[in-house]
Structure 1
Amino acid sequence: MSAERAGPVLVLGGTGKTGRRIAARLTERGLPVRLGSRSGSPAFHWDDPAGWPALLSGVDAAYIAYAPDLAVPGAVEDVRRFAEIAAAQGVRRLVLLSGRGEPEAEEAESAVAAVATAGGADWTVLRASWFAQNFSESFLLDGVLAGEIALPAGEIPEPFVDADDIADVAVAALTGSGHAGRIYELTGPRALTFGAAVAEIGRASGRDLRYGTMPAAEFGEMLRGFQVPEAEVQLILYLFGTVLDGRNAAPADGVQQALGRAPRDFADYARAAAAAGAWSVPAVTAAGGAA
């Protein structure tokens, strides 16, 4: 970020899987950060647009992560409205976290690009595949801790992306040059079936893990039993039933394009998560959704 960029960087979802990583990286670089979260000051709520101008006041760049996902009804309209207010407030860079293979997410991408362009702001899209961290920080954690994961997923592979790679790309787009008008497809370097991913976690953690499939309806009931909010249950079922049809099976080179390096492999993620104790705690109800 050039010297004249003195305003803070707003990070929506600043306590989430990508947001907290982005905020930490910006802070380490000595850049001012403003967290957009329910516990922030001022607080941020997607259902309270009246509070957005105060949050955006003086902000130079903004990372937009919609919760729970851009596929939910109303998300595109919310994101468009947020981008409009941001542009009107003089925000000069908008970086949108998007979902790979989701038609609704692509609508949100187009909305942000159009609003930013009309308002003279730069925009960048981070179109991410399934997060590796869903196994250690989100709804798949319970299954790993229980020793058995059953999902409504067949043999279609997914190139899981590491949230740390997403954070690195986001920081580059928020603070550096050469990223305006770019859509980065962010994935890992290879695609694995969910069964293969579970096997990688078993090897890294030393846990005896079993993997199987189950009908979507049964999986939904299991998530509800873990107290996953209904909106997230519906989202997860949508993702399993829609985007895991092969459309996202091929790895992409977005991390390489943005950072000039290869993305982190799932096996490296699993070893690091195991070393950090992600799967060494007693069984608890995991928090968070698919993104």
Structure 2
Amino acid sequence: MTILVLGGTGKTGRRVARLLAGRDVPVRIGSRAAQPRFDWEDPGTWTGALDGIDAVYLSYQPDLAFPGATETVRGFVEQAVKQGVTRIVLLAGRGEPAAEDAEDVVKESGVQWTVLRSSFFAQNFSEDFFQPAVLAGEIALPVGEAAEPFVDADDIAEVAAAALTDERHHGRTYDLTGPRLLTFAEVAAELSAATGREIRFLPVSKADYVAALRAEGLPEELAELFALVTDGRNAHLGYGVQQALGRPARDFAGYARNAAATGVWS
């Protein structure tokens, strides 16, 4: 079996690829820098990336909630099936209607499938995205008192690797979260404890956050995504890690200590 890992240089993809390679499973990285090249915005690159592939880890960028994502995923899945792919593991977001549309595309494709519905990654605070805010000592977001069960990307990768290599996970939708709910203020407190310096959470308005995104050249849809998934719909725990791997999910505090030890916030 040869596995195509889309987003193979990203937070979850590179972890999935590393785990598979460690098990001597042939892996092809799907990215714009890889050979053959893969680009979501260039369907002409899909055929070469899929040549000889049996299974796919499907991680869509920038997010399944963004406009046009479902139709792009549909086109890719149809091409994958045409070229003989027999298993797809889809990374999706919790509480996102558009992500559920993409889930249906995979489920109805006729191949073996597993869906990984993930909460916010803990690694968003140490690998791009929120890392500059942590370094600056202030996390400013339009989320108020919203609570989120942050999940460790290493857990996602372990579940994905299992689903890609073991047919027992076929037809399963795993709700992947950490073991407890945390507000962003509580996250700031955990990061403060791990780093030994003060990191605070600053709630801001959606308008101010959109202005900040524009200033940084980031898509304004991120503000809509935050509003969508921090309205309380995701303020509950999932047990997909336990169900898939037979062990509890990693806790945010452990992630923060381990990340701090690497010097990423120094």
TM range, normalised to the smaller chain?
A: over 0.9
State the distance in 1 between where 2:47 and 2:120 align: 32
1:108-123 equivalences in 2 (<5 Å): 108-115=102-109, 117=110, 121-123=111-113
Q: 1:46 aligns with which of 37, 40, 47?
A: 40
Q: How does 1:6-17 map to 2 (within 5 A)?
A: 8-17=2-11
Q: Is the 8 A contact 1:19 1:167 kept in 2?
A: yes
d(CA) in 2 for partners of 1:228, 1:162: 27
Structure 2 residue aligned with 1:70: 64
Letter in 1 for 2:34: G
Letter of the 1:184 partner, please give it.
Y
- Which of 118, 122, 130 is the equivalent residue of 1:128? 118
Contact 1:69 1:235 in 2 (8 A): no
Within the candidate set 10, 18, 33, 1:24 is matched to 18
Q: Report which stretch shifted further, 42-51 or 255-264.
A: 42-51
Gaps of 5+ in 2: none
Alignment check: 8 A CA contact 1:148 1:209 kept: yes
- Larger deviation: 205-214 or 266-275? 205-214
After TM superposition, what 4+ stretches of structure 1 lie above 4 angstroms from structure 2?
Answer: none
How many angstroms apart in 1 are the aligned matches of 2:22 and 2:214? 38
Q: Give the structure 1 partner of residue 200 of structure 2.
A: 210
Query: Alpha carbon RMSD of aligned pairs, Å?
Result: 1.1
CA shift for structure 1 position 235: 2.9
Is 2:249 aligned against 1:263? yes
In the alignment, residue 176 of structure 1 is paired with which amino acid? Answer: D
Of 177, 190, 200, the residue aligned with 2:167 is: 177
Tell me by how many angstroms 1:228 deviates: 4.1
Q: Given residue 276 of structure 1, which amino acid in structure 2 is its aligned partner?
A: T
- Residues 133-182 of structure 1: CA deviation (Å, up to 9, x unaligned): 11111221111100111211111210001111000000000011310011
Question: Counterpart of 1:243?
Answer: 229
Matched, 1:33 2:27: yes
What letter corresponds to residue 224 of structure 2 in structure 1? Y
Q: What percent of counterpart residues are identical?
A: 58
In 2, Cα distance between equivalents of 1:224 and 1:196? 27
Taking structure 1 as reference, are residues 228 and 160 closer, same or farther at Cα in structure 2, changes over 3 Å only? farther
| Residues in 2 aligned to 1:188 and 1:128: alpha-carbon distance in whole angstroms | 10
Give, in whole Å, the separation in 2 of the partners of 1:77 and 1:55: 19
Matching residue's letter, 1:153: V
Contact 1:153 1:244 in 2 (8 A): yes
The answer to whether the 8 Å contact 1:162/1:188 transfers is: yes
> Residues 160 and 228 of structure 1: is their aligned pair in 2 closer, same or farther, counting only changes over 3 Å?
farther
Question: Aligned equivalents of 2:262 and 2:22: distance in 1?
Answer: 20
Give me the whole-angstrom Cα distance separating, in 2, the residues matched to 1:10 and 1:47: 17
CA deviation digits over 1:208-241, x for unaligned, max 9?
Answer: 112221111112222333x343x2xx23201221
SS of aligned partner of 1:35: strand
The runs of 5 or more residues in structure 1 that have no matched partner are 281-291
- Matched with 2:181 is 191
Any idea what the Cα deviations from partners look like across 1:66-112, whole Å, max 9, x if unmatched? 10000111100111111111111111110000000000000000011
Give the Cα–Cα distance (whole angstroms) in 1 for the partners of residues 106 and 235 of structure 2.
26
Query: Which secondary structure state, in structure 2, belongs to the residue aligned with residue 178 of structure 1?
Result: helix
How many aligned residue pairs are there?
266
Between 1:147-156 and 1:92-101, the stretch displaced more is: 147-156
Determine helix, strand or coil for the equivalent of 2:147: coil
TM-score scaled by structure 1?
Answer: 0.89
**Residue 278 (structure 1) shift:** 1.7
